[in-house]
Amino acid sequence: MASAVATEKIGANLFVQSYDHDPGSTAATLGSPDGGTTIRYMDAKDYSAIGVQVRPTIITTSLTRVELVASATTSFSSVTVVKDSGAVVMDSLNDTYFLECTDAELVQLGATLRYVGVRITATTSTDEANFTFIGVPKRAYTGLTPANAIT
């Protein structure tokens, strides 16, 4: 029998949300399900730390770089690299790469940096990935992590 207790220990203390990344290109592409058109990002204003984990989901060759990037606008027309994996070879569905930063690091890099995204480079245009944002809020509150995100 399932528990009748409504527990929200993790979901109220961390923001966790996964997204699909389908770059359709070998260029470094912002995390997006449609080649960079719909950019998935986090608004850092209410978080003391933000992390992103990347995992290949369709691999012809490999993912070769993961970057945590920030921008002053949601258009990400100009980005600042916050963290960089350097050259990597993510050629297995079991490979993961994780990067994180604090709000203090964002301020140090630029006073107006507010939006945090991920930029992923693939070897072929058919390579795809999944990425998960994790945010540590400045204050916990119920419903921080959505109970479901079925679209």
Q: What's phi and psi for 112, nearest 5 deg?
A: -100, 0
Asked whether residue 8 is assigned to any structural domain, the reply reads: no
- Element spanning 41, H or E: strand 41-43
What is the Cα–Cα distance from 3 to 48, expressed in whole angstroms?
32
Asked whether residue 55 is assigned to any structural domain, the reply reads: yes
Predicted TM-score (pTM) of the model is 0.91
Residue 150 has pLDDT above 70, yes or no: no
Q: Model confidence at 151, in pLDDT bands (50, 70, 90)?
A: low
Domain that holds residue 118: 15-137
Radius of gyration of the chain (CA): 16
Q: Which of 95, 97, 103 is nearest to 135 (CA)?
A: 103
Residue keyed to tokens 């997006």: 32
The CATH number linked to 58 is: 2.60.120.380
**The pLDDT of residue 2:** 79
Q: Model confidence at 143, in pLDDT bands (50, 70, 90)?
A: confident
Q: What's phi and psi for 46, nearest 5 deg?
A: -110, 15
Asked whether residue 109 is assigned to any structural domain, the reply reads: yes
**The pLDDT of residue 119:** 97
